Amino acid sequence: MSDTDNSRRIFLALAAAAPAALALSGTASAQTSAANPGTVPGAGRAALVTGSSRGIGAATARLLAHVGYAVTVNYLTNRGLADQVVADIKAAGGRAMARQADVADPAAVKALFDAHDEAYGGVDVVVNNAGIMNVGPFAQMTDDAFNRMIATNMTGSFNVLREAARRTRDGGRIVSLSSSIILQKPAYTGAYAATKAAQEIYSSVLAKELAGRNISVNAVSPGAVDTQLLRQHGEEALRGIPEATPLQRLGQPQDIANVIALLCSHDGAWINGQNIFANGGLG
């Protein structure tokens, strides 16, 4: 059984095991699920995942599609990878489409949400995942490396969250990717860590602004996860991490997708305005 199959099995078992709690929560979607405990959590709903051509975003798009969401797979340049994620989702019986958009461009983000809404009739889950990591000592960080990271991680996240605030349907979920690096604060990561700390602030403030609409807004803070974001910095970036981690391995994209999916599930409904650290204990 694949990781995704396994996650779906756990997800459905949790949903089916908690009908009484769901009925007490009083929301229309929760009541529907309580009446039909076998209902797939994302059935009839749609999710938009930025930066989902690879890494954590791709694992999240696949998992949300697997539990029933129609998914928009956003990418910046890697159209082939995004198309592959969509093809895999469709081959497994899900619904998905790929859309290019640079999150740093507000007009492109608006067009991305427009395309999603046109295809699926609205958005229930927004995963604000697209991000880049440029590292180096303060003394040597170039303007270009700094400004590109601010444009993608800070401005880009703001652009995505602004559209999410305007468009997410009542009962929806918004999740942003922060990082456990904001706890560890290692040398050479100052600018990157600052952009990731912003995700925690964005999320807790937006959670308050959306009060009364039954929309949860959270951040997830992975530790080191085995993706291109880290591997682009060479094996050095990964050295010693499994040994230093209490769970004794490197994080995988599926580990983080599972946490995001939990926040999007009925079981995650009471978690709001939080930053969930998912790092195998390497805090």
Ligand X SMILES: NC(=O)c1ccc[n+]([C@@H]2O[C@H](COP(=O)([O-])OP(=O)(O)OC[C@H]3O[C@@H](n4cnc5c(N)ncnc54)[C@H](OP(=O)(O)O)[C@@H]3O)[C@@H](O)[C@H]2O)c1
Q: Which residues bind ligand X (CB under 6 A)?
A: 50-57, 74-78, 81, 102-104, 129-133, 152, 156, 177, 179, 222, 224-225, 227-230
Residues 6+ apart with CB under 8 A from 90: 96
- Residue 21 CB burial class (10 angstroms; 0-12, 13-18, ≥19): middle
CA distance 167 to 122: 7
Structure tokens at 39: 């209902």
Of 39 and 279, nearer to ligand X (C-beta) is 279
135: part of which helix (H) or strand (E)? none
- Tokens 């100052």 correspond to what residue? 190
The length of the chain in residues reads 283
Of 33 and 128, nearer to ligand X (C-beta) is 128
DSSP conformation class of 155: I
- Residue 20 CB burial class (10 angstroms; 0-12, 13-18, ≥19): exposed
CA distance 214 to 217: 10
- Establish whether 188 is a catalytic residue: no
Of 112 and 210, nearer to ligand X (C-beta) is 112
Of 72 and 214, nearer to ligand X (C-beta) is 72
- Residue 205: closest CA among 260, 274, 153: 274
Q: How far is the CB of 24 from ligand X (least distance, A)?
A: 34
Q: How far is the CB of 251 from ligand X (least distance, A)?
A: 7
Of 69, 75, 120, 192, catalytic: 192
Of 36 and 142, nearer to ligand X (C-beta) is 142
Q: How far is the CB of 276 from ligand X (least distance, A)?
A: 12
- Tokens 């559209």 correspond to what residue? 163
Residues 6+ apart with CB under 8 A from 38: 12, 16
Q: How far is the CB of 262 from ligand X (least distance, A)?
A: 16
Q: How far is the CB of 54 from ligand X (least distance, A)?
A: 5
Of 65 and 225, nearer to ligand X (C-beta) is 225
Structure tokens at 27: 């929301």
Note whether 265 and 14 are within 8 A (CB). yes
Note whether 53 and 82 are within 8 A (CB). yes
Q: Which residues are catalytic?
A: 192
